[in-house]
Chains A and B, each alone.
Chain A
Amino acid sequence: MNVVFAVKQYISKMIEDSGPGMKVLLMDKETTGIVSMVYTQSEILQKEVYLFERIDSQNREIMKHLKAICFLRPTKENVDYMIQELRRPKYSIYFIYFSNVISKSDVKSLAEADEQEVVAEVQEFYGDYIAVNPHLFSLNILGCCQGRNWDPAQLSRTTQGLTALLLSLKKCPMIRYQLSSEAAKRLAECVKQVITKEYELFEFRRTEVPPLLLILDRCDDAITPLLNQWTYQAMVHELLGINNNRIDLSRVPGISKDLREVVLSAENDEFYANNMYLNFAEIGSNIKNLMEDFQKKKPKEQQKLESIADMKNVKRLLQNPKVTEFDAARLVMLYALHYERHSSNSLPGLMMDLRNKGVSEKYRKLVSAVVEYGGKRVRGSDLFSPKDAVAITKQFLKGLKGVENVYTQHQPFLHETLDHLIKGKLKENLYPYLGPSSLRDRPQDIIVFVIGGATYEEALTVYNLNRTTPGVRIVLGGTTVHNTKSFLEEVLASGLHSRSKESSQVTSRGTQKLFVPT
């Protein structure tokens, strides 16, 4: 159960099959990302792959001395491009691999286009997802839902990604889903449908305990992506943003040209591999400079917020001019999520403060959107245990200086869910099985998928669970991997904020006005 290995193996096999000689790798936009996650340029150069071309690129030269390895998603456009390519082949021989199930009619059209008999291989290699870490995959979909329901295109892509993952790991799982989420149920059904349709593909050697696919919805835990995450990988993502293991540093002033884009790959960067899951503070001396930079970057919170012990003090905090707009909004969101139903809810007042502080409407709208997205009404379970709440808040408020807080991290809700699942105690009324059969033994191979995106902190949780629970292997996936910003974008994209105006909760009298700034 190592997704990086699974994808890498596919790519290696493609290259191997094509034999010796100069090669070009022909990809589409998505597969380029998929390949780049598991292979570095120098590594792939050693295997005689010298050129990387996009199938949709128009000005490719005829180079008959090259062999072409085509790794493409089986989309309509790609098949068309491929047909064009075969009619006038630019390379001597073609090895074609589709990253997912391709229809028979598409195969036929391709075959009929291959008048010059240049195709040597047509296969399905199910590397149809982004392998981020060995136990974390993503589909790089931002904004998978419209309101509470799937965007149909994204549902189809997610189904494909998830079934490809199952095939690449050779798992034919039982499926459980979060009952409170309609999207989770839909996805579960779609995956099941594919498994039924392609039953021949999913015929694997039976394991004693069948694998389990658990489908969750981000709305079950909207807190985690709002918190600062303290591991190296998560922190880099939070501060700089990681996209396909690439970090765009071009915005950093004074950065040298060759550092514009940095690749963080555990496969090749030993430091990264060793530290990606480490608590930021633990890495300590290793990245002293980075730490210092970070502290320079975020001094506002650290310096002043340490004394804050109670949520009630959020108000005072908000008035602190050093707290950025973004962080202030984040604070209120957390507050709102927590005290959503509390009688002495002072959210209206806080919203007022936000406005007074000059926080833009966009962010203020987001507060209610987040509550709408991940509020209690939506949640299938109780996210905040009483003691948890304060701890989480403290955690968020305190900076790196409060070492003990850095160490006593927020445990994402996923931890509890998985813990229950492993122990066989996950409630079936909240997370029912799809179909009549259920797992009698404790699960061993678990694939968790979070609609709306996972986080690196949750990846850490999975990593730790894998390490500490013998016999249990977990892979975490999400429509994307979030930091706070991208999560808020996700919330924004779901379009929930617009509906929140009509919603009776949160936006009671006082706040109602806030949303209609006049």
Chain B
Amino acid sequence: MASLDDPGEVREGFLCPLCLKDLQSFYQLHSHYEEEHSGEDRDVKGQIKSAVRSHLSEFKKHRAARIDHYVVEVNKLIIRLEKLTAFDRTNTESAKIRAIEKSVVPWVNDQDVPFCPDCGNKFSIRNRRHHCRLCGSIMCKKCMELISLPLANKLTSASKESLSTHTSPSQSPNSVHGSRRGSISSMSSVSSVLDEKDDDRIRCCTHCKDTLLKREQQIDEKEHTPDIVKLYEKLRLCMEKVDQKAPEYIKMAASLNAGETTYSLEHASDLRVEVQKVYELIDALSKKILTLGLNQDPPPHPSNLRLQRMIRYSATLFVQEKLLGLMSLPTKEQFEELKKKRKEEMERKRAMERQAALESQRRLEERQSGLASRAANGDVASLRRGPAHLRKAEGWLPLSGGQGQSEDSDPLLQQIHNITSFIKQAKAAGRKDEVRTLQENLRQLQDEYDQQQTEKAIELSRRQAEEEDLQREQLQMLRERELEREREQFRVASLHTRTRSLDFREIGPFQLEPSREPRTHLAYALDLGSSSIQSSIAPKTPTPSSAQEPIRVWSGPSALGQELLTQSSMSQQNEGPSLNPFDEEDLSSPVEEGTASPPAAGASFGPSAHIPKEYNPFEEEDEEEAMAGNPFIHRDSPAPNPFNEEDEHLQQRHSSPLVPGNPFEEPTCTNPFEMDSDSGPEAEEPIEEELLLQQIDNIKAYIFDAKQCGRLDEVEVLTENLRELKHTLAKQKGGTD
């Protein structure tokens, strides 16, 4: 479920209001809602979906009118009751009491009431009239009620309390007293005189008694909270506590059982004890509720017992349900074991990653050494033929590389695969805990993998730019090296220039491969996966011309480069000394300083080892692919990438002012694919005749090759290049002459 809290997310479409799924169309949304959510006991934003109608306001209106009347009645009775009990009844003679009673409320005339209004019996000598002392009405003895003095006191005292809080002038006893004074003179009832003395109780009719009893009940309720309520409140508090604590504990326990060390075992077990204590309390409380009043006489009403049973039952359900979800904690020893297991697993994971990284390194290395030996052997023939093949295959390499390696060298995929099999094993062995842990791991891995996949897409473009930068860097260095060599050893120079020109051609087309991007992604993805170190260091900004870039690329693998160096071929080691001038140059140019320093820190020949490593694997692949002779490459490769050319410009502009007379720049111009872009001032620089000639030779070979394969468009481009080269050569010759 997507989170609504995310303010940044604005979605539109036919979204389900509950799960925010986009259902594309109204009907689909409708049916989705019906299917998925209609049964859910949950309203959208708390709104009830069905119609309702409230009568409460009307009800209250009618009630208010009634209540006013009722309250007045009750208060009147209580005020009279107070007067009736205000004197010492036990020590006052009956006649006097009667007189006082009559003064409180006028008695109804006996003659007016021939029948008892409540039971309908005729009054006679035997069935005598009685007067209610509270309202003055008449009833028979059977229908007469009595109010004991304690009850009267209870009612009046409670009223006094409430009066003290909200005083109301109309209820003041004095005013009422005054108004009733005249009633003393009313005729005394003959029948009443014959009554026994009422010194400890007050006669009244059922209606008045009823009203007063209701009042009493209200008073009782206000003051008294039954035991069951007290216990129940405690019980609910406990339940709330469990609802709050249990998820916390479950989270902890799950983490600990997975061997993680996010939470401490002690803390978790403390929490467990706490939760368990609450459970015990719930159990105890509900049990207490269940047995409430069982020993009383008379026993509680069946309804009460039922209520107690139900509370107990629901508490039991609660405990059962929640307690089952409360997983156990590992013991200390188990936890140690789990930790170890997890550590091992992590190590295994890491080892696998490392292995995968190593694997890819080794492969790179193999290819590199292969190339190095070839280069060292000075296998001119193969090299002459080589470039054509290499170049042809260029565009294919990432695809094949990606296909071939992604499966076994993406550590995440590998890990996922492994864990799946672990789960299988664990399941077979019946170790459920382990299965759970592994499944959790698997889930995390898969999440990570998904995340990585998305990151890759972002990373790819950056990587590409980096790669290109690196290649340019390599070019530059090769050029420099070559220059050194040429200065010192003219004779070997020709051999090296050949290799160098080979390199250029490899790199050239690669840079000019925009349309290959989707495929190269795979290769990059592989790269990212296999050497996470590298990717983690990888820059966030894909600015290709920035001088920092090489550093990033270098710094990562430098250590690996070192390792590899020990195995690298002699020819490369021989080149070691030739790098010295290069270092000097770095010092002179602050921009390039960064480029050189990391390898310098590692080993002075680091770069040389690294350069081939970076692109050699491609080469090897290329050769394989070249055998297949896919025509694709040739169609694409000549297409110039304007973006890359821009980069090239920048790079060159950058470096050229620093080393204005540097002959390194020349080979760039000789690269047939960069001819156009190199029409700048560098192109005017004198180019070594030797180089040019060689270049011409190469291009001729290309043309031949292209013709053989019938790729006419390529032939055209190449011919154009050749002509230009020849032109340059002629010009140079003219210049030097």
Contacts and interface: CB of A to CB of B under 8 A. Distances in A.
A310 interface: no
Nearest to A39: B41
A5 B228 CA distance: 34
A107 B58 CA distance: 8
Contacts of B318: 46
A9 interface: yes
A473 to B, nearest CB: 7
Given A2-B34, A112-B62, A473-B34, A22 B53 contact: no
B54 A50 contact: no
B265 interface: no
A502 interface: no
A60 B303 contact: yes
Contact of B67 (A9, A117, A170, A267): A117
A116 interface: yes
Nearest to A108: B62
A462 B53 CA distance: 31
Interface string B40-59: 11010000111111111011
Contacts of B63: 111-112, 114, 117, 119
Contact of A9 (B30, B41, B225): B41
Interface stretch (A120-128, A349-357, A413-421): A120-128
A82 B304 CA distance: 21
A92 B221 CA distance: 9
B51 A12 contact: no
Interface stretch (B12-20, B306-314, B384-392): B306-314
A63 B303 contact: yes
Given A167-B51, A201-B51, A110 B303 contact: no
B490 interface: no
A1 B306 CA distance: 37
Given A4-B39, A473-B34, A126 B307 contact: no
Contacts of B49: 6, 9, 170
A182 interface: no
A60 B303 CA distance: 7
A104 interface: yes
A119 B58 CA distance: 12
B216 to A, nearest CB: 12
B732 to A, nearest CB: 79
A116 B53 CA distance: 24
A115 B313 CA distance: 36
A107 B34 CA distance: 36
Interface string B61-74: 11100110010000
A123 B55 contact: yes
B41 A12 contact: yes
Contacts of B66: 111-112, 114-115
Given A112-B63, A124-B52, A170-B51, A64 B313 contact: no
Interface residues of B, number: 49
A65 interface: yes
A122 B55 contact: yes
B463 to A, nearest CB: 47
A122 B60 CA distance: 9
A13 B48 contact: yes
Contacts of A117: 63, 67
B301 interface: yes
Contacts of B54: 121-124
B381 to A, nearest CB: 72
Contacts of B304: 61, 63
A122 B34 contact: no
Contacts of A517: none
Contact of B313 (A4, A45, A110, A112): A45
B38 A2 contact: yes
Interface of A: 1-2, 4-6, 8-10, 12-13, 20, 22, 24, 42, 45-46, 50-51, 53, 59-61, 63-66, 88, 92, 101-102, 104, 107-108, 110-112, 114-117, 119, 121-126, 134, 167-170, 201, 204, 267, 470-471, 473
12 contacts: A5-B40, A6-B49, A24-B307, A51-B310, A102-B55, A115-B66, A116-B214, A117-B63, A123-B56, A126-B52, A470-B28, A471-B30
Interface of B: 27-28, 30-31, 34, 38-41, 43, 48-56, 58-63, 66-67, 70, 214, 218, 221, 225-226, 228-229, 232, 236, 301-304, 306-307, 310-311, 313-314, 317-318
Q: Which 9 A/B pairs are nearest by Cβ-Cβ distance?
A: A111-B62, A61-B301, A50-B310, A45-B314, A61-B303, A2-B38, A167-B51, A111-B63, A168-B50
Given A117-B67, A121-B56, 16 more contacts: A2-B34, A2-B38, A9-B48, A42-B314, A51-B310, A63-B303, A65-B228, A65-B232, A107-B62, A112-B63, A114-B66, A123-B55, A126-B50, A167-B50, A204-B51, A473-B30
